[in-house]
Amino acid sequence: EVQLVESGGGLVEPGGSLRLSCAASGFAFNTYWMHWVRQAPGKGLVWVSHVNTDGSTTTYADSVRGRFTISRDNAKNTLYLQMNSLRDEDTAVYFCAREKVTTDYWGQGTPVTVSS
Amino acid sequence: DIVMTQSPDSLAVSLGERATINCKSRQSVLSNNKNYLAWFQHKRGQPPKLLIYWASTRESGVPDRFSGSGSGTDFTLTISSLQAEDVAVYYCQQYHTSPYTFGQGTKVEIK
């Protein structure tokens, strides 16, 4: 069974940092592109970033480029999102998702709150 | 970025009746005879669920009352006979060009 389990969310002050993790199981993690997507309270889904199978190619939404870094450890079957210089508007539930054609399996999400 | 616009923002449909959601992209998402357009169902407290990809291909396990159509810039998700468990927010997504943009969502409720 495909499972994606996010962790690392929490409350952080503006300007702070967090690292999210997404533990994958039930599939060949190293053969899939992986994504982060977020949903702010009361808002819709917004794509954040994706990474190719070996981590050599990454893409970011304009709103996070230069502040967030996506990476993966295929030996640990884990996807990461390093978030720096956090802003109020980064408050959201962050989902990791696997790509097969497009994002087919999603985790339950981890909430991030940026507030002083 | 490819802007995706859904209509309506919300709709209320009686049980057993048809629900139709539209999605328009600002530029074509058709390449190599494939439309890079997906539909997701998102229920509160759950992760989004992929329903349709390539505009009209139903994901495994998705009931056949869900269907997708359209090409180029105009797409439709149809729920042929609304069931109580279909109450959710539905999103279209283009995966033709990074960033993979979503529509704003359409909330479907029971009338």
**What is the pairing mode between strands B49-53 and B30-31?**
unpaired
Question: What phi and psi, each to the nearest 5 degrees, are found at residue B79?
Answer: -110, 110
List the structure tokens of B5: 């616009």
pLDDT in tens, B43-68: 999 999 999 999 999 999 999 999 99
pLDDT of amino acid A34: 97
pLDDT in tens, B65-91: 999 999 999 999 999 999 999 999 999
Shortest Cα distance from A69 to chain B (angstroms)?
15
Omega before A41 within 30 of 0, i.e. cis: no
Arithmetic mean of pLDDT, A80-84: 98
CA B102 – CA B106 distance, rounded (Å): 11
Is B93 in contact with A102 (Cβ distance < 8 A)? Answer: yes
Nearest Cα residue to A113 out of A41, A43, A25: A41
| SS3 of residue B46 by DSSP | coil
Distance of CA B71 to the CA centre of its chain: 13
| Residue in A35, A44, A106 closest to B47 by CB | A106
| SS3 of residue A87 by DSSP | coil
Mean of pLDDT over chain B: 97
pLDDT of amino acid A1: 94
Shortest Cα distance from A98 to chain B (angstroms)?
11
Q: How many residues does chain B have?
A: 111
B93 — pLDDT class (breaks 50, 70, 90): very high
